[in-house]
Amino acid sequence: MTAIETTGVAPATQRAATDEVMTIVDPAGELAGESFALSPRRPDLLKGARIGVLHNSKPNGDVLMNFVVDWLIAEHGVSEVVRVRKQTPGIPVNEEQLKALEGCVAILNGTGDCGNCTSWTVHDTVALERLGFPTVMFGTDEFTYLAHMESESLGLGALSRVVVAHPINARPLEEIRQKAEGVAEQVLRFLTTPGDQLTREHYAACDLRDGAARTEKPLEAERVTIARSYEALAGYLAQAELGDGLPVVAPTERRVAAMLEWTDRDPTDVVANLMPTGAAATVEKVAANAVMAGCQPMHLPLVIAAIEAIAQPAFNLLGVQATTHTVAPLMVVSGPLAEEAGVNSGAGLFGPGFQANASIGRAVRLAMLNIGGARPGLLDKSTMGQPGKFTYCIAENEARSPWEPLRVERGLPAEATMITMVPGEAPHTVHDNQSTSAEGLLRVICGSIAQTGSNNSVFDADFLVVIGPEHAETIARDGFTKKDVQRYIFDNARIPLSRWSPEYIQGLFRDKYPDRYGDADAETTLIPFAADPESVIVIVAGGPGKFTMHVPTMGAMPTVHQPVLLKSGEYARSLTDFRRR
């Protein structure tokens, strides 16, 4: 049915029946992918065998699995154990680690006791099963729904996962021993019971059914017809678990078609598959979410470029979407298309009042929710969240910057436009109304950055510094280039290792980086907040006032950059280049 738009209230006698309903383009993603079976198991699998333990470096995860391994050795004939440790939970198992696991007849993999680590432990478990390794994943009860939904999206519905009470880390040794004893028999069964039987049992008593039943609408639906009212739209979105909780613009067929006039791509083209569901974000689906967010049609090319950016493997959307961290993709637009689209780069750029910033950033978030499926509390496990999870979009203030813009720094021509996606926390303010020299001002900025508890202190990560125009003028006046600023912040935004707790120092510095911090003196060792000077991303933005802001990141998830390109691969010089003739 074709939707009919109304601009006013007509008398009831003049209103056709079709005026009482509207057809919307379903903003949810299209699920795809082939299913596969568990790798073969047999009752005598473990007798005299070598097994592997893949530890993702989460505290106490190795302890939990080792208690089970000791039991398998003592009671069930395991003869050899290969232990492999990942540097961080938020990355996939690599080729070197897989090579080390060759010859193992089964693998214990863990642990999933946070959103990011659960996502990647599932990913690794599925990868190992595809390679023919019977694998058991260890996780906690808080992340059961996330684990099984992600496993199903990756094609392995019957995930062999043992569950202990949350949490695992920062718990006494005896408690971990008791948790291991509680799941040991289940681990044995998962490794020695034929896979087809495990699959049948899994679906006969699937612990997902209550959660999965929350939505009766299939995600593959293309069009939905509902009553023409705000209440009906809001009710549908609530029932279907779509939207961000705020009112939206109805993505009617007419509005979506108007949006699609501003792209040179076919509506059925897949822009990306968005994790954690892996659903297809077609051009039309992205346009529907852009309509819902309140975008102008001319904003669509920027939204599409942002979706392409977060789908880059380096960005680790799987971890960003599911983590317990507060991370949200911060979109930074560098180039002439930002001004054409009306993206604010001046006063109040992180705040309200500008449609482009609010709606473009929101469109990206709605796509992450509606297509990627990261509903808070279900697949998005952020402990507290942050306001940037509604919308997070700014632009460089090139007119007030004494240095080259970000896109030029990254090797693009000045006439190009680039989208930068930063896996960021909420911005932190640096106020300095006193310093009159570059070094004095940068010292204050570094002092604000250097704080315990930041993920940047533990992982080699990027860090965004948004320098206000007045601060930038002071720094540049003393002859500091952007590279000088990056080097100064990298060298000086550091904090003594002794500022952390003894447990933190041992678990997240000495154990994680033994070559770097194993024997380091806690009083004299200084911890950097970025991997290298180039990882300190510096832009100029904002309006009058002596303020700078910095945006810590999640860590181990780099910033990504995406040029805004036409279908031909050329740089767009104007948003109208995308418009269909």
77-86, 129-138, 213-222, 327-336: least confidently modelled range: 213-222
| Alpha-carbon span 34 to 153, nearest angstrom | 9
Looking at this protein, which amino acid is placed at residue 309?
A
DSSP labels for 499-516?
GS-HHHHIIIIITT-HHH
- For the chain, give the mean pLDDT: 91
pLDDT higher than 70, residue 147: yes
Average pLDDT over residues 27-39: 79
| Alpha-carbon span 364 to 423, nearest angstrom | 13
Q: Are strands 328-334 and 418-424 parallel, antiparallel or unpaired?
A: antiparallel
What pLDDT does residue 18 have?
Answer: 54
Helix, strand or coil for residue 459?
coil
Question: Closest by alpha carbon to 25, among 270, 230, 249, 247?
Answer: 249
Residue bearing tokens 């493997």: 313
| Alpha-carbon span 119 to 103, nearest angstrom | 26
| Alpha-carbon span 289 to 455, nearest angstrom | 31
CATH class entry, domain 50-193:
alpha beta
Residue ranges per domain, the chain? 50-193, 321-576
Helix, strand or coil for residue 245?
coil
What pLDDT does residue 221 have?
Answer: 52
411 close to 358: Cβ distance less than 8 angstroms: no
Looking at this protein, which amino acid is placed at residue 248?
V
In the chain, pLDDT over 90 holds for what percent of residues?
80
Average pLDDT over residues 152-176: 90
| Alpha-carbon span 362 to 7, nearest angstrom | 25
| Alpha-carbon span 27 to 39, nearest angstrom | 36
pLDDT higher than 70, residue 492: yes
Most confident option among 12-16, 286-290, 322-326: 286-290
Give the model confidence (pLDDT) of 433-481 as tens digits. Answer: 999 999 999 999 999 999 998 888 888 889 999 999 999 999 999 999 9
DSSP state of 376: B
Question: Closest by alpha carbon to 459, among 118, 84, 62, 88?
Answer: 88
Who's near 427: CB < 8 A, 6+ residues apart?
350, 466, 549, 550, 551
